[in-house]
């Protein structure tokens, strides 16, 4: 048995090749050298035919010499995002500057006027009923003496249909009625009773259209009572100072506003059947109607000859309430309740 050989498992001899340092491998041993070199060489993934270069491998390169990490599409996307962010920042800054300028600028005359119009239109909702209908109202009699009417009571509720006759209520709703408030007054001698109604509309045009149903002339110069349920001779028009102000004084007219009796007062017997006179006046989004009659509740058909001057204060009460309700407010834009 040759020296240097060892018996392998199974009884076969394994050959051992000793290659002196610096000597070449003899011919016929190329296969052994190749196997030895492969066994001793480090594990180089790039040396395998199916190896995939690791991401970020600096040794790998593409045909054009650029790194595989470079993607032109990603660069364009990043540039677009940066530009959009810059635009958003610019818009935000400009909006902030504009808002600051709006808050710091002084209100114009138009701003104050618009705020005043809104405030007047909302008074029927914001003012207490006792402010809309003062406890006392002054008037001048037919004898040119000054007297005072005192409030007997204020009606509950604000529904347009509840405060107005059926036909008038339908007309008011068509014209944009929002609310109808009523209060009853007795004259100084407590012989004449007045129910005053404030009818609030969405705007001046609706209020004017509603009152024209009472005040407009049609065949024979009569009041437009047909639209409110009356006949051609149901009523007659008498001018009062002010636009669209009327007094209806013939028997059995359609008065529009329902009377409001107040139990326990001089107005306890004043029902709708006792109405003798109706007046109407409009300014801005409000129409103020007034009906008047005797405190004893006698119906209009039973009074015979009508003493019109005794009811003249009805229009004065309406005018006084309307003047307070539509008085231009003192607009103070620095206060939080004002928007101007």
For the chain, how many residues are written?
Answer: 340
Domain ranges of the chain: 135-325
- How much is the pTM? 0.63
Contact 270, 191 (CB under 8 A): no
Mean of the pLDDT values across residues 305-318?
82
Alpha helices in 243-302 (DSSP H): none
How confident is the model at residue 268, as a pLDDT? 97
CB count in 10 Å sphere of residue 150: 15
Is the predicted pLDDT of residue 177 greater than 90, yes or no? yes
- In the chain the beta strands, taken as DSSP E runs, fall at 6-7, 13-14, 136-140, 146-154, 177-186, 192-201, 217-218, 222-223, 237-239, 246-248, 277-283, 286-294
Model pLDDT for residues 178-190, shown as the tens digit of each residue: 999 999 999 999 9
How confident is the model at residue 148, as a pLDDT? 97
Q: What is the 3-state secondary structure (H, E, C) of 128-191?
A: CHHHHCCCEEEEECCCCCEEEEEEEEECCCCCHHHHECHHHHHHHHHCCEEEEEEEEEECCCCC
Range scoring the smallest mean pLDDT among 163-167, 223-227, 314-318: 223-227
Tokens of 41: 């060489």
How confident is the model at residue 140, as a pLDDT? 94
Tokens of 327: 């008085």
Contact 329, 119 (CB under 8 A): yes
How confident is the model at residue 276, as a pLDDT? 85
DSSP state of 232: T
């Amino acid at each position: 048995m040759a020296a240097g050989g060892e018996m392998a498992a199974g009884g076969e001899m394994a050959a051992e090749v000793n290659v002196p340092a610096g000597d070449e491998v003899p011919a016929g041993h190329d296969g052994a050298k190749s196997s030895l070199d492969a066994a001793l060489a480090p594990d180089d993934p790039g040396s395998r035919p199916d190896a995939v270069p690791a991401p970020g491998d600096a040794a790998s390169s593409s045909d054009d010499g650029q790194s595989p990490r470079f993607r032109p599409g990603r660069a364009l996307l990043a540039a677009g995002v940066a530009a959009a962010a810059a635009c958003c920042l610019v818009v935000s800054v400009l909006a902030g500057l504009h808002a600051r300028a709006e808050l710091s600028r002084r209100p114009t005359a138009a701003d104050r006027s618009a705020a005043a119009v809104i405030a007047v239109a909302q008074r029927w909702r914001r003012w207490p009923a006792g402010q809309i209908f003062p406890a006392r109202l002054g008037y001048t009699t037919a004898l040119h003496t000054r007297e005072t009417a005192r409030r007997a009571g204020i009606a509950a509720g604000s529904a347009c249909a509840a405060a107005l006759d059926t036909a008038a209520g339908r007309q008011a709703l068509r014209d944009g009625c929002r609310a109808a408030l009523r209060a009853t007054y007795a004259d100084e001698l407590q012989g004449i009773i007045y129910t005053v109604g404030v009818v609030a509309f969405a705007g001046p045009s609706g209020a004017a259209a509603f009152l024209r149903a009472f005040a407009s002339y049609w065949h024979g110069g009569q009041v437009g009572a047909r639209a409110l349920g009356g006949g051609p001779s149901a009523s007659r028009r008498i001018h009062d100072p002010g636009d669209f102000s009327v007094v209806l004084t013939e028997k059995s007219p359609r008065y529009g506003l329902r009377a409001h009796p107040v139990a326990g007062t001089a107005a306890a017997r004043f029902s709708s059947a006792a109405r003798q006179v109706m007046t109407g006046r409009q300014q801005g989004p409000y129409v103020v109607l007034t009906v008047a009659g005797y405190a004893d509740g006698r119906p209009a058909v039973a009074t015979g000859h009508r003493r019109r001057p005794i009811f003249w204060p009805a229009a004065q009460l309406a005018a006084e309430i309307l003047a307070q309700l539509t008085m231009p407010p003192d607009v103070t834009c620095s206060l939080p309740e004002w928007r101007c």
